[in-house]
Amino acid sequence: MATDPAAPAKFRRVILKLSGESLSKPGERGISMEEVFQIAEQIKKAWELKCQIGVVVGGGNILRGAQFRTHSGVAFEEATAHYMGMLATVINALALQEALEAVGCRTRVMSAIRMDGVCEPFIRRRALRHMEKDRIVVLAAGTGSPFVTTDTAAAQRALELGADIVLKATRVDGVYSDDPEKNPHAVLYHDLSYDDVIKQGLRVMDGTAITQCREHGMPILVFNFKKNGNIVKAISGQRVGTRIGPAPQ
């Protein structure tokens, strides 16, 4: 039976986690505005369902920490690399804001590191107020601390802002038993518990993010954002991707 892409939003408030790589073409680096606008159009359709949306964006398309491992006998301070990565997420957030506003959405960029000339500081109550006023809030700079991934930032913001679910956007259909791009026999899971993810070492989100969500019962939906309409389907509660939550009783 066909699903209804215009079904009303199931969730009142969500955190959408986008990797930095989602803003570039596959196999490339930097920002592709074509890719950014495709994402913006999908987010707009979800926003039109009157769902309050916060977007946590990564920075891996611009900078990855592995670039700064010891080179030519010189050790690069890892904390510095993390701060540089946070700044990369701000660049991505500004690009996404421009695309969202170009397609008619009201937005605010909020950064965990103060950058008053280009965006607002993240203040929980202010972020909530923006959402209540029907603005999409793009959350940049992770948590503002080094050694914390943007996956953990997404879990943290979801808990702080009272979201109903974390939507983890990927380029594959959900969580598989193995890398589906390397193993054609990999099995797609439709439902997993937090403990399943941890015990099987499934590469969904980092361990800290999974543990935070497990401790507070925050569900996670991992889905393929490259399939047009999947963000709307996810927010509408239609069956898409892999849902991660508490183990069935």
Q: For residue 36, what is the domain's CATH number?
A: 3.40.1160.10
Residue 44 lies in a domain: yes
CA distance 247 to 230: 25
Q: Please give the angle made by the CA atoms of 203, 45 and 210, to the nearest 5 degrees.
A: 20
Residue type, 80: T
Q: What's the whole-model pTM score? A: 0.91
Q: What is the pLDDT of residue 2?
A: 42
| Structural domains counted in the chain | 1
Cα end-to-end distance, the chain, whole Å = 30
Residue 81 lies in a domain: yes
Q: Look at residue 168 and give its three-state secondary structure.
A: strand
- The answer for residues whose C-beta is within 8 angstroms of residue 155's C-beta and 6 or more apart is 166, 205, 208, 209, 210, 212, 213, 218
User: Going residue by residue through the chain (249 aa), what tens digit of pLDDT does each one get?
Assistant: 344 445 678 999 999 999 999 999 988 999 999 999 999 999 999 999 999 999 999 999 998 766 666 555 566 788 888 999 999 999 999 999 999 999 999 999 999 999 999 999 999 999 999 999 999 999 999 999 999 999 999 999 999 999 999 999 998 899 998 888 888 899 999 999 999 999 998 988 999 999 999 999 999 999 999 998 999 999 998 989 999 999 875
CA distance 38 to 95: 12
CA distance 180 to 182: 5
Residue 171 lies in a domain: yes
Residue 232 lies in a domain: yes
The range of the structural domain enclosing residue 149 comes to 13-245
Residue 3 lies in a domain: no
Q: How many CB atoms lie within 10 A of CB 188?
A: 13
Q: How many CB atoms lie within 10 A of CB 172?
A: 17
Strand partners, 138: 55, 109
Residue type, 235: I
Residue type, 146: P
